Chains A and B, each alone.
Chain A
Amino acid sequence: MRDNPVLRVVTKIIVPVIFLFALYVQFHGDYGPGGGFQAGVIFAAGLILYGLIFGTESIRCLISTRFLRALIAAGLLLFASVGFLPLLMGWNYLDYDALGQNPLSGQHLGIFLVELGVGITVAAVMVTIFVAFAGRRDS
């Protein structure tokens, strides 16, 4: 599909918009519809579209499999360690009240970080699955 100029040009225009929209869904998820999972999927969709048009090799140039694997772990670790912070401060696991001056800001910060962890892991897993299936023929 690399040879089709329409697809190539449209992809190059649309991929940054997809990424931007993913970030919007990620960070506005506290107030509107959205959140980490949806944002992760949208972000991965941008990368997967790029890979569909320019080949899986181009995704691998962008992000190595090893880095993707590290991202999967990092997202989960972020989630779990945010849960652990209150525990170290003498509160219950995942009690974000401990993270801020008052419960409102604590809960806000907690859910923000947790959703970020979810987003990172989901995006990395989606891309990993795509690369694993689409890249089968090459290896």
Chain B
Amino acid sequence: MILSQLPALQVTLPLIAAPLCLLVRSGRAAWGIALFASAASFAVAVLLLSRVLDQGTLSYEFGGWAAPWGIEYRVDIVNVFVLFVVTAITTVVLFFANDSVRKEVDASRQSLFYTVWLLCLTGLVGLVMTGDAFNLFVFLEISSLSSYVLIAFGKDRRALTASYQYLVMGTIGATFVLIGVGLLYMMTGTLNMADLADRLPAVMATRTVRAALAFLVVGISLKLALFPLHLWLPNAYAFAPSAVTAFLAATATKVAFYVLLRFLFTVFGVTFAFEAMPLGIILAVLGAAAILSTSAVAIFQDDIKRMLAYSSVAQIGYMVLGLSMASVAGLTASILHLFNHALMKGGLFLALGCMAYRLGSVRLGALAGAGYRMPWTMGAFLVGGLSLIGIPLTAGFLSKWYLVQAALGQGWWPVLVVVIVGSLLAVVYVWRVVEMAYLRRPNDSDASAVREAPLSLLLPTWFLIGANLYFGIHTRLSVGIAGKAAAVLMGQSQ
């Protein structure tokens, strides 16, 4: 009985835990509740994953109302994989958060911090689970509103303007999504995604449906931080608390990418989105532009958090580039990169959190000689950086390898050039940090004060970094599931 209720538990566990966090006063107790809730939802995600692998798509009717009318949760191999990533990342980052947050957030506001964290998790998980287009908008708002608050928790006062900027852009994005969903509802009279996919072909040729596609793609791209719409992201990531940056960087944009996949491939269908509409070439150009321009901008950042934020926009470019090919191989590369990028950016931002914990700053200048004073932290950053560049035997190499293969498979050789140039630019910005940490002498004045980060921060960091190495060698889980998910999205049976 409990197994059939898993889809409901996935969303309601963090939702119920959130008000409990609000009731307790101490930050530590709230942290315990949050950690328990996200570990439980990770367990649920693992169970769901194994069930989906066994039985195929699961469907859950909320309140017992049947599918096209009621809200249906539909779990297939695509979203269960994203669920797995999101819940795993939040659990690992929460282990990290205890000490990091105590240093970066006022004691009186820590329980509120974890409340909002859980609400954000609820929103993200709900976004991924739901099979209802309007329900998706509601969860989009839950996750967005709570992530604005999480960012505003940053110590620096500029976190408030960053959060406000994100709020304005995010609200425009969410409104566009709502308009798109509204237009679809107008044409078909249904909000259920599977039902929409059945009814849309009859009205495909209308301007309304084309407008709906445009609104949805632009709206989701704002949340995804696709190249020209990414301007909110660097500030938001740079000024948020370390744990929040790691959490959002590894989950929020991934979930937005999943939503884009879901709308383009499941709701509209490949033929409409990529043949009737010129979406393939638009997304390919924007993806390539994202890789080249934001990697170049990242080189000139002094704040390493900001540098990695720009690099995140570039990595989103790789994912969108794979999507724009609209082929099984391209989608496999995209979904694989979604997974791998969550691992590497999660690990890298956690390593930055360790540095912020000991050095109080993540500006490049503060890192002089840090490689000798914090060898484990810098070692983690180095390995994560290698994965970001795409050195063989790391996870980052695999996704780029699959991307290039997919591109060459359909004769898109310029993609090869873009990937190589993007990787070389990544070498440059990772090297700047490595040079500062290992080849500069530490400032003697404060050398004795700085020690290695505590184990409670290093363990989660190395867990994610270790996963980069593990999934760089053992590809069965990640590549296997990504391939199956791509086949499902392209409409081929599992």
Contacts and interface: CB of A to CB of B under 8 A. Distances in A.
A92 B19 contact: no
Given A69-B22, A72-B22, A73-B22, A92 B16 contact: no
A100 B33 CA distance: 32
Nearest to B17: A80
A17 to B, nearest CB: 31
A97 B64 CA distance: 9
Interface string A63-106: 00000011011101100110110010011111111000000000
Chain A facing B: main interface SS: helix
Contacts of A87: 5, 8
Interface stretch (B55-63, B307-315, B403-411, B481-489): B55-63
A21 B158 CA distance: 44
A84 B62 contact: no
A93 B62 contact: yes
Nearest to B24: A73
Nearest to B8: A93
A92 B5 CA distance: 7
Contacts of A76: 15, 18-19
A73 B19 contact: yes
Nearest to A110: B63
A76 B20 CA distance: 10
Interface string B1-41: 10001001000100110111011000000000000000000
Interface residues of A, number: 20
B1 A90 contact: yes
Contacts of B15: 76, 80
A84 B427 CA distance: 51
Interface in B119-174: none
B5 A93 contact: yes
Given A90-B1, A93-B5, A93-B8, A72 B62 contact: no
Interface of B: 1, 5, 8, 12, 15-16, 18-20, 22-23, 60-64
Q: Which 8 interchain pairs have the tightest Cβ spacing?
A: A73-B19, A93-B8, A95-B64, A94-B63, A73-B22, A76-B19, A80-B16, A73-B23
